[in-house]
Every structure is written in C-alpha cells, then in structure tokens.
Structure 1
Amino acid sequence: MNFRALALSSVIALTPAAALADWQIDPSHTAVVFEVEHFGYSDVTGVFPKVQAEIENFDPENLESAKFTVTLDATAITTFWEARDEHIKGSDFLDVSEYPEITFVATEITETGDNTADITGDLTIKDVTKPVTFEATVNKIGESPVMQGTNVAGFTLNGEVDRTEFGVDAYAPAIGAVIPVTINVELMNKD
C-alpha cells in the first residue's frame, strides 16, 4: 500500500467528506525540534514551539496537489537555557528583532514508499531562501478518540538544514553547521 493509498483508506473509513474538508494545523501537537553540536562535546536540543500553517488542497487521494506554507515564530525559540536563547535570538544567529519569522513553502510532494514521501520547499531564514527537502512519514490518519467528529492526520518529517547557507554562520563549524531537524505535526478537520 503506498503513501496515498494508506492515507486515503484511513480517511475513507472515517467519512467521504473528510477528504474535502478544511484541514488546519493543531498547534498544541506540533513542534519543530533541532539539535546543534556543541564543540563536539554534546548536542544542544532546541524547539520552535509556535508553528502556524496555511494548508490548501490536502486530499489523501491526491497528496501531490497539497499546498502549504509553514511559519515558525523565531522569537519563541527555546533551548531550555535563557541566556543561550537570548544569544541565539541576537544578531550573531537569528536576529529575531529584524527577522521574527522563519518560513517554509512546499513546492513539491513526491511519494517514496508505502507511507513515506519527500516534501521539497523553499525555506527562508533571515533574508535568504533556499530549497530544502524533508522525508515525511504518515503516522496515522483517523478519527480523534477524544473529540468526536474531528479527524486527525499525524506526520513526522526529518531533514537537515545547513545554517551557514542562510547567513547564520557564527562559530561554525565549531558549533555545528548542519542541523538535524524533526517536525512532528498533526492536522485536524471537523466534519
């Protein structure tokens, strides 16, 4: 069963209207997590907890037609250490006073396996835009066990971002330049 068929069979089991309904991101179950190597001694984990998305044409019958734009609130970044967070928000790194948002605009979705796909898009950090590809896995699509009449689609995306390509090059390569990124996202709709 391919990515599309898995998602489709899950949604059809719910209701035919689910494929046509408006899907919205569930911000309470969505986060962007990353790790940065610290001088080879350890990896520092960070999170962008505030994620918004505009989603169009999400149809499990035709995943390639989906269009979406994801916006991260760069001012909300946390590495669980306030002094480090303030440094990352400053001009050495993200310069959030000038560039408060990071965006990803999907440009292509390509099935790669039974429940996987590559999602390529334009990532903008600060004032630099470059193409980036994430490997996506569909975790589950079904009716919420808590909210009757609400359908949920859960995905995990993995990829890498070379921060130096976006002008975020302070202390590289001593502090990791290539950053592994994991995105856990839930979409939901109501019949």
Structure 2
Amino acid sequence: MIRFAASALALSLLAGTAVAEPVAYDFDKSHANLSFTYNHLGYSTTDGRFGNWEGNLQIDKDTPSNSSVEFTIDIDSLDTFWADRDTHLKSADFFDAAKFPKATFKSTKVEQTGENQLEVTGDMTIRDITKPVTLQVQVTAMGEHPMAKKEAAGFAVTTVLKRSDFGMDKYVPYVSDEVNVTFHAEALTAAQTN
C-alpha cells in the first residue's frame, strides 16, 4: 500500500510538471537563400534559386525531436539568371509550373546527430509526387540576436534530390539527375499574440 501511494504521488508530480512547448520562429527572408545546383553535360555547374517561399518553423531547444518545419515554394519564382532557361524549367518538360505552381516539404522526424547537427526527414511534394527526403542541418548559431535583441537561430541546410523521382527525367543522364539543394537562413522568435 505504501509503495502504491508513493507511485501515485510520483505520477501526480510528473503530471503537474510543466512541459516546454516548441517555440515558433519566423524566417528572416532578408538573410535567407534557397538555392540549387546541377551538372550540365559534365562541362559546367548551373546555379539557381527560388525567391518566393514560406516557412513554418517550430523549435524545441531542449528536445529537438519535438521540432518541426514546413515549407511551401512558389515554383514561378525560380531564377537561374538566364530567362530562356527559366522558361524551359517552368514548362511541362520539368516543373510544369502552370499545372503545379507549388512544391512543399513537411517534416516527419527531427533527430540530433551530433553537436549542432540535425537530420530532418520529411515528405517532399513536387508535381503532386511525394517522396521522403532527408535534410542535413548544421545549426550555425543559437542565442540572442545582437541586433534584434531576441532569440534567434541560424542554419545551413543541404540535401540531394533526384529530379527523376518527381517526374522530371528529361535529358538524364546528360544533365544530372541529382540536384544539390542548399538553404541558408536566420530565424527569429515569432511575435507573441494574446
């Protein structure tokens, strides 16, 4: 009976303990870049970026596995610094932006793999095709932002996508199937609303 009472007391104390919730962060788009590169015929590397995207970031510093991220990318904002190539990449040969104007990523798992290193696994959807993707995340900074005077985080994110996985296999293997994606960003704690 004493053992049962002690167990009940312990459970009630645990139940009453406040559990920290993940904190919402807003991306600072003036200090963020979503870019990609791919190999062209073995002769050169082509660079590009997406200028318009939205992200929803939740960070639990104490328990990173409770963190999450969602992304929506405006395909029409693709820019490879050559207008004719941009038009072709947005055409039905590749992204088919008129029919599929958005690409999305939604995390399903966050795992700390080392000091300041995370693996974020999630579902990437391009052209209405969804595939699992793993992002390698280097946390470059975490703490009070020296200018904004609020909690901030910095990230360098990389992954490799196979465009053929998303129905974009034109010119493979001459133009590389693998596309290297990089995302650099700062994020600040979101304004609290009551």
After superposition, residues 1-191 of structure 1 pair within 5 angstroms as 21-56=23-58, 58-148=59-149, 150-189=150-189, 190=191
Query: Aligned pair in 2 of structure 1 residues 157, 20: CA closer, same or farther (>3 Å)?
Result: closer
Partner SS state of residue 30, structure 1: strand
CA RMSD, 1 decimal: 1.7
Report if the CA contact (8 A) 1:141-1:154 is conserved: yes
Residue equivalent to 1:5: none
* Structure with bigger RCO (C-alpha 8 Å, 6+ apart): 1
Cα offset, 1:79, TM superposition: 0.4
The number of residue pairs the alignment matches comes to 172
Cα offset, 1:39, TM superposition: 0.7
Instruction: Could you tell me which runs of 5 or more consecutive residues in structure 1 were left unpaired when the two chains were aligned.
Output: 1-18
TM-score (norm 2): 0.83
Report if the CA contact (8 A) 2:68-2:110 is conserved: no
Percent identity over paired residues: 33
Cα offset, 1:101, TM superposition: 0.9
Question: After TM superposition, what 4+ stretches of structure 1 lie above 3 angstroms from structure 2?
Answer: none
TM-score (norm 1): 0.84
The separation in 1 between residues aligned to 2:66 and 2:184, in whole angstroms, is 21
Larger radius of gyration: 2
Partner SS state of residue 29, structure 1: strand
The separation in 2 between residues aligned to 1:73 and 1:28, in whole angstroms, is 17
Query: Aligned pair in 2 of structure 1 residues 89, 64: CA closer, same or farther (>3 Å)?
Result: same
